[in-house]
């Protein structure tokens, strides 16, 4: 039953991992960080990652089709599972964490492109996000 730090340290064990953070996308607050921060500043990186996560989570275009109505159950359901941003030298994987209380939290993993395995990272992050809040 991992806490925030154990979860982030586990993410850092993925091949090519440079940094990992758990971020609230409404406020832009990093609830935990391990390793390097993209751009060198943890607070700036968290705020910028929070921007793109919020945009993805709120746009109707990215929401799944099979979502008839039921806004009552909507609090725990995430419209988007993850986001992948790639550049010349690295990947960023943002994985949304479903939580039953009123949270808006995601995991941000920064991977070196040469060593990183995007498919593996995506699967592992999904498992970590689930284990973090489910017993």
Least gap, CB of 38 to another protein (angstroms):
13
Query: 93 to 132, contacts with another protein by CB under 8 A?
Result: 97, 99-105, 131-132
Nearest-angstrom CA–CA distance, 57 and 52: 9
Looking at the DSSP bridge assignments, the partners of residue 31 are none
Query: How large is the angle between the packed helices 4-12 and 118-133, nearest 10 degrees?
Result: 170
Rg (CA), the chain: 14
Least gap, CB of 108 to another protein (angstroms):
14
Q: Which stretch binds another protein (CB under 8 A): 12-20, 51-59, 85-93, 118-126?
A: 51-59
Least gap, CB of 82 to another protein (angstroms):
18
Q: Which stretch binds another protein (CB under 8 A): 9-17, 19-27, 80-88, 116-124?
A: 19-27
Pure H helices in the chain = 4-12, 42-58, 118-133
């Amino acid at each position: 039953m991992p806490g925030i730090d154990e979860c982030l340290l586990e993410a850092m064990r993925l091949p090519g991992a440079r940094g990992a953070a758990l971020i609230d996308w409404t406020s832009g607050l990093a609830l935990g960080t391990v390793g390097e921060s993209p751009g060198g500043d943890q607070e700036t990186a968290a705020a910028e990652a929070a921007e793109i996560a919020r945009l993805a989570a709120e746009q109707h275009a990215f929401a799944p089709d099979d979502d008839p109505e039921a806004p009552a159950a909507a609090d725990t359901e995430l419209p988007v599972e993850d986001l992948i941003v790639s550049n010349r030298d690295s990947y960023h994987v943002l994985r949304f964490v479903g939580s039953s209380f009123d949270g808006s939290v995601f995991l941000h993993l920064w991977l070196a492109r040469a060593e990183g395995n995007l498919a593996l990272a995506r699967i592992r992050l999904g498992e970590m996000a689930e284990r973090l809040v489910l017993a």
